[in-house]
Chain A
């Protein structure tokens, strides 16, 4: 019974997420970015894997729609790497939610990821996850959520 119930809930979430991603195409197309039906299904499936891999649970819609709205104007994302980038950003997002000890809201985390992705990381998700957010995590744990880039810039100027 519980498994049936669980499946029903997952099915409901899949439907909601799929519809949100279909709708997001209307927004992202302005930036030359579109997800095919197959890509949408794949990203939605990846969401549940990512949540499980990171030991998290999510109610309602996932974070993909927010990632699309934030990242679709990035100069480093194009139609060729769109699905792959979203998938990796989604993984990175859930990973960093754990790493920042929940001290950043979804919107703050996405904003920082976007700034770093377009700035110091120059479109490298590997750089983003390996360096910049690690720095943020350390600072967030100390209670400082200052803009690390600003501090670095000031150091460089000195």
Chain B
């Protein structure tokens, strides 16, 4: 039995601390793990599988880490305070986030685009089960649902539990609102041209619409039309052919702002989301430009 098995050497909690602090925290963590394990087994079992203890420890780290992050507290607090108290404060934050998560989920369902996509629908359905299966008292870091639908700008992999879910839902709401700005038939035509089996395959609904609307904004055309004709594509190739990286990035940035203006998108998160999406087009454009065809980025239908 070794604490090395449950307290990783590169434990995030352990940076910025002296060796003495670390030793105190290790000791407190062990005692908290013992207490949580007793509660988990309800006193029925003196031992648990190592894998279970590891998960319980990750949950403790997640709860305490969440509290430190939200309160802006220094990690020194870990050495100076009762970890059980910090853990409880973290649990309260999780309860609050759970309530927020339920509201976000409801909004995500209500704003879901009417475009058929299997992974999107399966993911939303599965997230509904998250709220039944999320055992935040013992396994707060886990995400007990299947999230298959790929976002245009994914959630950071370091996020866990309810924090991950809420971030995912926040992003999907942004994408929903954007997709719903367009005529359904036009959006479906674009998606079909982008991927013939857009209903069945794991594709993101937002990104082709974002790319084409930004492309149209660059050409000063109607962003809601969505279609980038072959001629438009040639113009875009010519445009980017004359621009170096910095002006190209600036052009994409301005085009994204123009799209937001045209579509009445004023929410700062949604604006940032589209700006990030537009700027992410640049490496793809740079890679495609030497071949003289941006048809894989700006879609013609």
The interface of chain A, by Cβ under 8 A from chain B, is 1-6, 9-10, 48, 51-52, 55-63, 94, 97-98, 102, 105-107
Known A-B contacts: A62-B47, A107-B44. Give 7 more (CB < 8 A): A5-B30, A6-B1, A55-B51, A57-B53, A59-B47, A60-B46, A106-B44
A63→B48 CA distance, assembly (Å): 13
Q: Which residues of B contact A51 (CB under 8 A)?
A: 1, 47
Whether a CB of chain A sits under 8 angstroms from the CB of B277 is: no
Chain B nearest CB, measured from A73 CB (Å): 22
- Chain B residue with the shortest CB-CB distance to A108: B44
Chain A nearest CB, measured from B104 CB (Å): 34
| Pick from B5, B7, B9, B45: contact of A105, CB under 8 Å | B45
A56→B5 CA distance, assembly (Å): 11
Contact call A59/B6, Cβ cutoff below 8 A: no
Q: Which residues of A contact B4 (CB under 8 A)?
A: 2-3, 6
- Chain B residue with the shortest CB-CB distance to A97: B47
Assuming the contacts A6-B1, A51-B1, asked whether A58 and B47 have C-beta atoms less than 8 A apart, the reply is yes
- Which residues from 36 to 56 on chain B have a C-beta closer than 8 Å to any C-beta of chain A? 37-38, 41, 44-51, 53
Which one of B9, B38, B45, B50 has the highest number of Cβ atoms from chain A below 10 Å of its Cβ?
B45
A6→B23 CA distance, assembly (Å): 11
Contact call B27/A106, Cβ cutoff below 8 A: no
Chain A nearest CB, measured from B280 CB (Å): 41
Q: List 10 A-B contacts (CB under 8 A).
A: A2-B2, A5-B30, A6-B1, A56-B47, A56-B49, A58-B47, A59-B37, A60-B34, A97-B45, A102-B48
Q: Which residues of B contact A57 (CB under 8 A)?
A: 1, 5-6, 47-50, 53
Q: Which residues of B contact A58 (CB under 8 A)?
A: 1, 46-48
Q: Which residues of A contact B23 (CB under 8 A)?
A: 1, 4-5
Q: Which residues of B contact A48 (CB under 8 A)?
A: 1
Q: Which residues of A contact B41 (CB under 8 A)?
A: 102
Contact call A5/B3, Cβ cutoff below 8 A: yes
Whether a CB of chain A sits under 8 angstroms from the CB of B111 is: no
A120→B33 CA distance, assembly (Å): 39
Contact call A1/B30, Cβ cutoff below 8 A: no
Size of the chain B interface, CB-CB below 8 angstroms: 28
Q: Which residues of A contact B267 (CB under 8 A)?
A: none
Main secondary structure, interface of A, reads helix
A106→B23 CA distance, assembly (Å): 32
Q: Which residues of A contact B33 (CB under 8 A)?
A: 59
Main secondary structure, interface of B, reads helix
Assuming the contacts A1-B19, A6-B1, A58-B1, asked whether A63 and B46 have C-beta atoms less than 8 A apart, the reply is yes
Which one of B4, B19, B26, B46 has the highest number of Cβ atoms from chain A below 10 Å of its Cβ?
B46
Q: Which residues of B contact A59 (CB under 8 A)?
A: 33-34, 37-38, 46-47
Whether a CB of chain A sits under 8 angstroms from the CB of B22 is: yes
Which one of A51, A56, A61, A63 has the highest number of Cβ atoms from chain B below 10 Å of its Cβ?
A56
Assuming the contacts A2-B3, A5-B3, asked whether A56 and B48 have C-beta atoms less than 8 A apart, the reply is yes
Contact call B47/A105, Cβ cutoff below 8 A: no
A58→B48 CA distance, assembly (Å): 7
Q: Which residues of B contact A9 (CB under 8 A)?
A: 1, 3, 30
Contact call B1/A10, Cβ cutoff below 8 A: yes
Assuming the contacts A2-B9, A5-B27, asked whether A62 and B3 have C-beta atoms less than 8 A apart, the reply is no
A60→B2 CA distance, assembly (Å): 14
Ranked 10 nearest A-B pairs via Cβ: A105-B44, A58-B47, A59-B34, A6-B3, A56-B47, A57-B53, A6-B2, A5-B26, A55-B50, A57-B50
Q: Which residues of B contact A1 (CB under 8 A)?
A: 19, 22-23, 26
A97→B45 CA distance, assembly (Å): 9
- Chain A residue with the shortest CB-CB distance to B33: A59
Chain B nearest CB, measured from A8 CB (Å): 8
A28→B22 CA distance, assembly (Å): 43
Q: Which residues of A contact B9 (CB under 8 A)?
A: 2
A62→B27 CA distance, assembly (Å): 20
Contact call A106/B51, Cβ cutoff below 8 A: no
Q: Which residues of B contact A98 (CB under 8 A)?
A: 49
A148→B34 CA distance, assembly (Å): 34
Chain A nearest CB, measured from B138 CB (Å): 13
